[in-house]
Amino acid sequence: MIELRPFEQLGGADHGWLNARHHFSFAEYRDPKRMNWGLLRVWNDDTIAANSGFPPHPHSDMEIITYVRTGAITHEDGLGNKGRTAAGDVQVMSAGTGIVHAEYNFEPVETTLFQIWILPTGRGGAPSWGQRPFPKAERAGKFVTLASGIAGDGDVLPIRTDARVLGATLKAGTSAVYDLGRGRHAYLVPAEGEVEVNGVRIGTRDGAAIRDVERIEVKALKDAEIVLVDTA
C-alpha cells in the first residue's frame, strides 16, 4: 500500500517568520486520519526566516530529528548543548524525561528543514542531543542510515525507538531500493526532485505513506534528494 499525500493538500500555517506545512496533525491542524504512521508522529516542512527562530520551549518523551535542507539551524538547550547544523546535516534530540531547547536561524537567508518526531519505545531516560554531517556524495545512488534505534545499524545518530531515518541522492534515471518488510511503516518525502515509488509518482515535498511492502523501489524522474523513515 502506497498513499500519496500531495504537498498542496498538507495542513499548515504561516506565522510570518515561520511558514510550516504539516504531513500529520500538529498545532492547529487536525486530521484524525493523519495522527501518526506507525511510530512516526510528526513530519513538518518548515521555512524559517533569517534571524528568527523558536524561543525556548519544552519537550519530553519524543525523538526529534531535524534534517536541514537549506541554510542552517542553531540549537541551544538547558543541558548546555549548543551547535549549528547546516544543509544536508542532521541533528537528533532525545527528549526523555524533559528538556528545554531553542532553535534559531542566525543565517542571513531563510532556512528550510524537515522536523521529524518519532515516538520512543519507552518513556523516560536522560535527555540528550547530537549532530553529524552526512555529505550528500556519500548517499549517491543508495539509501544511507542517518539515525537509528535498530540494533546493528552501526555508527549513526542514536534514537530510542524502533525506527531508522535514511537519506539518498539519485540522478535522473537511476534507482535505489530499500527492503522494508511486511508489518513495517515507511514515510518518504523527496526534499528535491521527483521520483517514482513502486510505480507511484511522488513530487517534490509530497509525502508517500507506505505499509506492508516488502521492497521499496525508488526511481528518480528528476535529480532527487530523498528522506525516508522506517518504523514499527
156 band by pLDDT with thresholds 50, 70 and 90: very high
67 band by pLDDT with thresholds 50, 70 and 90: very high
Q: How high is the pLDDT of residue 162? A: 98
CA distance 90 to 1: 29
Q: What is the pLDDT of residues 14-64, one digit of tens each?
A: 999 999 999 999 999 999 999 999 999 999 999 999 999 999 999 999 999
Q: How high is the pLDDT of residue 98? A: 98
Domain count, the chain: 1
Q: In this structure, what CATH number is given to the domain that contains residue 164?
A: 2.60.120.10
Q: Model pTM?
A: 0.97
Q: What is the pLDDT of residues 169-206, one digit of tens each?
A: 999 999 999 999 999 999 999 999 999 999 999 999 99
Q: How high is the pLDDT of residue 164? A: 98
Q: How high is the pLDDT of residue 151? A: 95
Q: How high is the pLDDT of residue 79? A: 96
Average pLDDT over residues 204-224: 98
Closest CA to 190 of 162, 176, 182: 176
Q: Which residue segment(s) compose the domain that 123 sits in?
A: 2-131+139-231
Closest CA to 93 of 126, 133, 45: 126
